[in-house]
Amino acid sequence: MILSGGAGTRLWPLSTRDSPKQFLELLEEPLFEATLRRVREIPGVGPVTVVTGAEHVPAVETALAATSTGFGSMLIEPSGRNTAPAVIAAALVSDPGDVLLVLPSDHLIADPDAFSVAVGAAVASAREGALVTFGIEPTRPETGYGYIEKGAAVDGGYRVVRFKEKPDADEAERLLAEGAHLWNSGMFVFTVGRIIEEAEHHVPEMVAGVKAALPPETTGKIWIGEGFSDVASISVDHAIMEKTGDAVVIPLDAGWSDIGSWQAVWELSARDEAGNALIGDVRALDVTGCYVHSGSRTIAIAGVEGLVVIETPDVVLIVPREKAQMVRDLATRVPTAHRPD
């Protein structure tokens, strides 16, 4: 199951609600296509279920065609309601005995073989009744991710003690020093029967609302009814994973990144000897450690270091790389919907 929604505001202004980051060519290929190719290499994987919005159907179809990937179902939401309703909808149109591998469409996995091995361990645990997530070993005191506290060891992973919200800088330093926490990757594995069972226990009104919005036809393109927009907007983490007593986290060492900031894009991009990633028509003089992306005109930049500069026909973004997390808030303050000026 591939979740393909959102506006990707952390990579604004290139990523927008009309064209979120999973469809952009930020790296070697669009992230959605890379996700499809990675899934196809997992042994025993079945047809893909995609959950997306109506405005993204053409882009999803293009990605499916580009990777020669067929889909079992495409669930089309009338409005985005976060991940819990999306997961419940996908589960309700699946066979109860299936195992669901839930993946965002906009993550990078540098080592697909290691990922496939971790998925195998997660599937085995899920078949025993666990609700599994993948945790990433922290490499820095990151404030942009949620954390998962590890408990007792189980086959291939650990019992989840608790999920933690994104910390401030001081708490992130403490969590890193303790060594008992993993970053929450937002990827999950569970059987259809178990996730529906847990959802009916913890959020029964959501299950009822999603069921009522689903049409009778549950294959091919499934246009979910407008009643879906009345369902609570909440993540599967908050709705179910934090409440179940059967959550398991499996450590994943596969070069994972959610590419959640321009800093991350810079780190993953090819750079010149001065540490710059210069895309498009860029003229740079005495510039170091910058990410500069020209979309429609020449950018001339000189005598600076550590900046992100993104130019589009609508807006120019300039921000220090180490403060790239500010972009999400900035994106909500700047109207850029094809202004006539």
- pLDDT(228) > 60: yes
Q: Which of 327, 283, 328 lies closest to 308, judged by CA?
A: 327
Q: Does position 129 have pLDDT exceeding 80, yes or no?
A: yes
Sheet holding 291-294, edge to edge: 277-279, 291-294, 307-311, 316-320
Q: Are residues 281 and 239 in the same domain?
A: no
Query: Which pLDDT score, from 0 to 100, does residue 339 have?
Result: 53
Q: Which of 12, 40, 42 is nearest to 114 (CA)?
A: 42
Q: Which residues pair with 305 in a beta bridge?
A: 288
Instruction: For 105-127, write each residue's pLDDT tens digit.
Output: 999 999 999 999 999 999 999 99
How many structural domains compose the chain? 2
Q: Domain end: 241, 257, 273, which one? A: 257
Rounded to 10 deg, the angle between the 192-202 and 204-213 helix axes is 120
Q: Is 338 a domain residue?
A: no
| Cα dihedral sign, 36-41-45-46 | positive
**Average pLDDT rounded to a whole number, residues 75-103:** 95
Type of residue numbered 243:
K
My answer on whether 160 and 94 are in the same domain is yes
Cβ neighbours of 333 (radius 10 Å)? 6
Higher-confidence residue of 58 and 69: namely: 58
| More confident site: 159 or 7 | 159
Half-sphere exposure of 110 (CA within 13 A, CB side): 10
Do residue 281 and residue 299 come from a single domain?
yes
12 pLDDT exceeds 60?
A: yes
- What is the dihedral sign for C-alpha 122, 123, 129, 131? positive
What integer pLDDT is reported at residue 325 of this predicted model? 87
Compute the average pLDDT of residues 318-330.
Answer: 93
Is residue 197 located within the same domain as residue 321? Answer: no
Average pLDDT of the residues of the chain: 93
Pairwise CA distance, residues 198 & 32, whole Å:
29
Which residues, 6 or more positions from 172, have their beta carbon under 8 angstroms from its beta carbon? 141, 142, 143
In this structure, the answer to whether residues 217 and 326 fall within a common structural domain is no
pLDDT of residue 336: 56
pLDDT in tens, 241-290: 999 999 999 999 999 999 989 999 999 999 999 999 999 999 999 999 99
Residues 227 and 97 in one domain: yes
Contact by Cβ (8 Å): 167, 143? yes
Q: Has residue 109 been placed in a domain?
A: yes
Last residue of a domain, one of 257, 274, 297: 257
Q: Is the pLDDT of residue 338 over 80?
A: no
The residue range of the domain holding 75 is 2-257
**Is pLDDT of 218 > 90?**
no
Q: Is the pLDDT of residue 78 over 90?
A: yes
pLDDT of amino acid 341: 47
Same domain, 281 and 243: no
**Has residue 309 got a pLDDT over 50?**
yes
Percentage above 70 pLDDT, the chain: 98
What is the pLDDT confidence band of residue 144, given thresholds at 50, 70 and 90? Answer: confident
Show which of 257, 282, 305 is a domain's final residue: 257
Res. 33 pLDDT band, cuts 50 70 90? very high
Given a cut of 90, is residue 50 above it in pLDDT?
yes
- pLDDT on residue 17: 85
CB atoms within 10 A of CB 59: 18
Q: Mean pLDDT across the stretch 313-335?
A: 90
Q: Of 125 and 27, which is predicted with more confidence? A: 125
The predicted model gives 77-103 an average pLDDT of 95
Helices 57-66/31-40 angle, 10° precision = 50
